[in-house]
Amino acid sequence: MSDIYEVNRETFDEVMLPNYAPLAEIPVRGDGSRVWDQHGREYIDFAGGIAVNCLGHCHPALNKALREQSERLWHVSNIWTNEPALRLAKKLVEATFADKVFFCNSGAEANEAALKLARRYAFEKFSADKDQIIAFKKSFHGRTFFTVTAGGQPAYSDGFGPKPSGIEHAEYNDLASLAALISDKTCAVILEPMLGEGGVLPAEKAFLEGVQALCKKHQALLIFDEVQTGFGRTGDLYMYQGLGVTPDILSTAKSLGGGFPIGAILTSDEVGKYLKFGSHGTTYGGNPLACAVAEAAFDIVNQADVLAGVKTRELEFRQALDEINQKHQVFSEIRGAGLLLGAVLKEKYQGQAREFVMAAGEQGLMCLVAGANVVRFAPSLIVESQDIAEGMKRFEKAVARVLAADKV
Ligand SMILES: *Cc1c(COP(=O)(O)O)cnc(C)c1O
């Protein structure tokens, strides 16, 4: 595609705000689990656009849905409803605990809606001072001011003036620390069933059961942020389904659109009825293009063999990582679930996750960090075995490079 402007990485510094620091290469094309940059260099993609591209790049069924919908109807706003949104909502309701769905455009917006709904529910059903929200340290819920304040990393919410109040933080996987904070003034507890950004750390089942029991005792809503764990990522459509702990509100985004921006909250009639007419909204949310793509993604992801395939691929990943570790002794643990896996660096390599990810890039492999000590893998849910094998070969070379550089 040629134009009057030749753009490259320097163009970013010229015209984009500096809140991101993108890598030197600019991807221009993707196909399945492979990506090519401006110079024709090929990468294997184990990052998935940060756990988003659940069916890889340019999946034919998603392309078809997008193309067909783009020739029919793009946008009408929520003054009218639309067929793709209604079909997608029906499918999500049928496949989960939920009776009702609200669509938006991102994970942060989904959590924003979840928290506002919880506040409104408590305000109308109980009293104006049942407004406390409890979240967890090291968690991540998005970057709007409400959700970033709920997230457990003050570095992300400091320096923007007065924060939304009424939010407190307990220790993840520590029921006693929640028990010390929760009371009848609590309207909601929000958590990720597995910390994503916070290090790919699964919640313990007993912890989740305890959280749910405390919520019930204090009539607080339990919100699961499944923006990263959801939509097939862990081998269940939503992670809660494999845990046996059902939330009152669930937020979903990332993989839901397979690369097209969409988010949603799922909830029961009993809770959802408090998001009354006019109480909340978004112009783009649930627009026909996004919903058509998400519906096509749903039709593929929510198949027993595709979900089972996530678990077999998990084993392939774990085995390859174990082999790398036997050779190089770099990881203390491989943790996570399904195709959201974290290789935790040993004490000796603490703080170096970014070095491993950069070295992987040089070998033609895209992967992610999750904090400073964990290398994160969030590939396509249908990544092919040969791509896993080739990607791991490249990752091993990257590991060897980092270790060699460490020695000099
Ligand atoms: C990515 C993420 C979000 C934020 O989603 P955006 O689409 O970036 O707003 C929220 N919660 C979790 C658990 C996430 O991983």
Å from CA of 134 to ligand 1 middle: 18
**Tens of pLDDT, residues 328-337:** 999 999 999 9
DSSP 182-206: --TTEEEEEE-SEESTTTSEEPPHH
Q: Does residue 19 belong to any structural domain of this protein?
A: yes
Compute the residue count for the chain.
408
Smallest Cα–Cα separation from 54: which of 338, 383, 311, 364? 383
Q: What's the start-to-end Cα distance of the chain, in Å?
A: 44
Centroid of chain to Cα 348: 29
Q: Does residue 224 line the site of ligand 1, with CB under 6 A?
A: no
Ligand 1 atom at shortest distance from the alpha carbon of 226: 13
Pair 292, 311 in one domain: no
Ligand 1 atom at shortest distance from the alpha carbon of 225: 13
Pair 268, 227 in one domain: yes
Q: Does residue 186 line the site of ligand 1, with CB under 6 A?
A: no
Pair 165, 276 in one domain: yes
**Tens of pLDDT, residues 256-289:** 999 999 999 999 999 999 999 999 999 999 999 9
Last residue within a domain, chosen from 280, 301, 322 = 301
Q: Does residue 4 belong to any structural domain of this protein?
A: no
pLDDT cut 90: percent of the chain above it: 98
Q: Which amino acid is at 244?
A: G
- Read off the CATH number of the domain in which 114 is found: 3.40.640.10
Contact residues for 48 (Cβ-Cβ < 8 A; gap 6+): 54, 56, 378, 379, 380
Q: Does residue 180 belong to any structural domain of this protein?
A: yes
Q: What is the mean pLDDT of residues 106-123?
A: 98
Q: Does residue 194 belong to any structural domain of this protein?
A: yes
Pair 283, 189 in one domain: yes
Pair 142, 184 in one domain: yes
Q: Does residue 402 belong to any structural domain of this protein?
A: yes
Residue whose tokens read 């791991």: 392
Q: Does residue 107 line the site of ligand 1, with CB under 6 A?
A: yes
Å from CA of 348 to ligand 1 middle: 30
What's the pLDDT band for 4 if we cut at 50, 70, 90?
confident
Q: CA-CA distance, 334 to 264, in Å (whole number)?
A: 30
What's the pLDDT band for 113 if we cut at 50, 70, 90?
very high
SS3 call for 329: coil
Q: Please name the helix (run of DSSP H) or strand (run of DSSP E) that holds residue 45, with its range, or none.
A: strand 42-45
Pair 348, 392 in one domain: yes
Q: Does the pLDDT value for residue 407 go beyond 80?
A: no
**Probe target for ligand 1 pocket from 145, 228, 234, with the most ligand atoms within 8 Å of CB:** 228
Centroid of chain to Cα 98: 19
Q: What is the mean pLDDT of residues 345-351?
A: 97
**Tens of pLDDT, residues 286-313:** 999 999 999 999 999 999 999 999 999 9
Q: Does residue 272 line the site of ligand 1, with CB under 6 A?
A: no
Q: Does the pLDDT value for residue 5 go beyond 90?
A: no
Last residue within a domain, chosen from 271, 301, 331 = 301
Q: CA-CA distance, 322 to 345, in Å (whole number)?
A: 13
Q: Does residue 141 line the site of ligand 1, with CB under 6 A?
A: yes
Pair 156, 225 in one domain: yes
Q: Does residue 227 line the site of ligand 1, with CB under 6 A?
A: yes
Å from CA of 252 to ligand 1 middle: 9
Pair 37, 163 in one domain: no
Q: CA-CA distance, 345 to 351, in Å (whole number)?
A: 8
Q: Does residue 15 belong to any structural domain of this protein?
A: yes
Last residue within a domain, chosen from 275, 301, 327 = 301
Q: What is the mean pLDDT of residues 398-404?
A: 97
Å from CA of 111 to ligand 1 middle: 8
Pair 239, 126 in one domain: yes
Indicate the average pLDDT of the chain. 97
Task: Count the domains in the chain.
Answer: 2
Range of the domain at 107: 73-301
- Read off the CATH number of the domain in which 363 is found: 3.90.1150.10
Q: CA-CA distance, 255 to 264, in Å (whole number)?
A: 11
Q: Does the pLDDT value for residue 2 go beyond 60?
A: no
DSSP 108-171: HHHHHHHHHHHHHHHHHHT-TT--EEEEETT----SSHHHHHHSS-HHHHTTSSSPPSSEEEEP
Ramachandran angles phi, psi of 231, nearest 5°: 60, 50
Q: Does residue 228 line the site of ligand 1, with CB under 6 A?
A: yes
Q: Does residue 2 belong to any structural domain of this protein?
A: no
What's the pLDDT band for 3 if we cut at 50, 70, 90?
low
Phi/psi zone of residue 336: left (φ > 0), alpha (ψ -120 to 50 degrees), beta? left
Pair 390, 346 in one domain: yes
Predicted pLDDT at 1: 54
Distances (CA, A) of 334 to 74, 185, 314: 43, 39, 11
Pair 119, 174 in one domain: yes
Q: When comparing pLDDT for 3 and 161, which is higher?
A: 161
Q: What is the mean pLDDT of residues 211-232?
A: 98
pLDDT cut 70: percent of the chain above it: 99
Q: Does residue 68 belong to any structural domain of this protein?
A: no
Pair 132, 212 in one domain: yes
